[in-house]
Amino acid sequence: MTDDISLGPVIAIVGPSGVGKDSLMEALVAAEPRLSLLKRVITRAPEAGGEDYTPVTEAEFAQREAAGEFALHWSAHGLLYGVPAAAVVAQRAAGRGVLVNFSRAMLVDAQDVFGNFVILNVTASPEVLAARLAGRGRESTEEQAKRLAQASKPLPEGLHHVHQIDNSGELSAAVQAALAVIYPDQPERA
């Protein structure tokens, strides 16, 4: 674990595709100036839309990985994902919190790497997930089905500081629930 006490928390936002991770992260940053989004490096096509990420080819990803750029990296949905280490440190400076969309499979590694680490496991019913992926339309129907098949993947054993955030209803409710976890000693926001 390489963690300086002056560094703020790494807040892992995890859960099945379509549950609202990106939506929740964007809303949290809009509501709380001490929070920022970690810009991931992904081998996803630049025009895919959605989150703000650094699109790279698989060759570029391999070069960055070999150069030690990533604090953590993984593959999922036929894509490669990397978390730039320097960006995490910079965004945690002065106690600020950084929001990271992690794979559930990476959480044990992540809690060892980052130390000051909290996990928000975002949930919604299968029906809601299917409707949201269809409504978003970013993936093909076939890819949506593959993602939905992964929805019930359990979190790994051995995790600490895991909190369930229900995003079945209004996004604003999930935002308030998440802020109450991240900043438990602060009154509910207006």
Ligand X SMILES: O=P(O)(O)OC[C@H]1O[C@H](OP(=O)(O)O)[C@H](O)[C@@H]1O
Ligand Y SMILES: Nc1ncnc2c1ncn2[C@@H]1O[C@H](COP(=O)(O)OP(=O)(O)OP(=O)(O)O)[C@@H](O)[C@H]1O
Annotated binding-site residues for ATP read 15-22
Provide, rounded to whole angstroms, the least separation between the CB of residue 170 and ligand X: 21
Q: Which is nearer to ligand X, 95 or 126 (CB)?
A: 126
> Residues 102, 165, 179, 182: which binds ligand X (CB under 6 A)?
102
How far apart are CB 126 and ligand Y at their closest, in Å?
Answer: 14
- Compute the distance between CA of residue 57 and CA of residue 59 in angstroms, rounded to an integer: 5
Between vectors from CA 161 to CA 180 and to CA 178, what angle results, nearest 5°? 25
Count Cα neighbours of 68 within 13 Å in the Cβ-side half-sphere.
0
For position 72 contacting ligand X by CB under 6 A, the verdict is no
Closer to ligand Y by CB, 91 or 167: give it.
167
Q: Which of 17, 43, 91, 103 binds ligand Y (CB under 6 A)?
A: 17
Residue 83: CB minimum distance to ligand X, A: 9
Interaction residues for ligand X, span 115-144 (CB under 6 A)? none
Q: Which residues contact 53 (CB under 8 A, 6 or more apart)?
A: 39, 40, 41, 42, 44
d(CA 108, CA 72): 11
| Footprint (CB under 6 A) of ligand Y, residues 50-109 | 50
User: Binding to ligand Y (CB under 6 A): which residues in 133-152?
Assistant: 135-136
CA separation, residue 73 to residues 53, 117, 136, 139, 140 (Å): 14, 17, 26, 22, 25
| 108 scored as a contact of ligand X (CB under 6 A) | no
Query: Which element (helix H / strand E) includes 79?
Result: strand 79-84
Residue at 28: amino acid letter: L
Q: Which residues are annotated as a binding site?
A: 15-22
Contact region for ligand Y (CB under 6 A) — 17-25, 37-45, 80-88, 156-164? 17-25
CA distance 155 to 162: 9
Distance separating alpha carbons of residues 151 and 135, to the nearest angstrom: 17
Q: Does 123 bind ligand Y (CB under 6 A)?
A: no
Applying CB under 6 A, the residues found at the interface with ligand X are 14, 17, 21, 76-77, 81, 101-105, 150, 153
- Residues lying near ligand Y in the complex (CB under 6 A) are found at 17-23, 50, 132, 135-136, 167, 170-171, 174
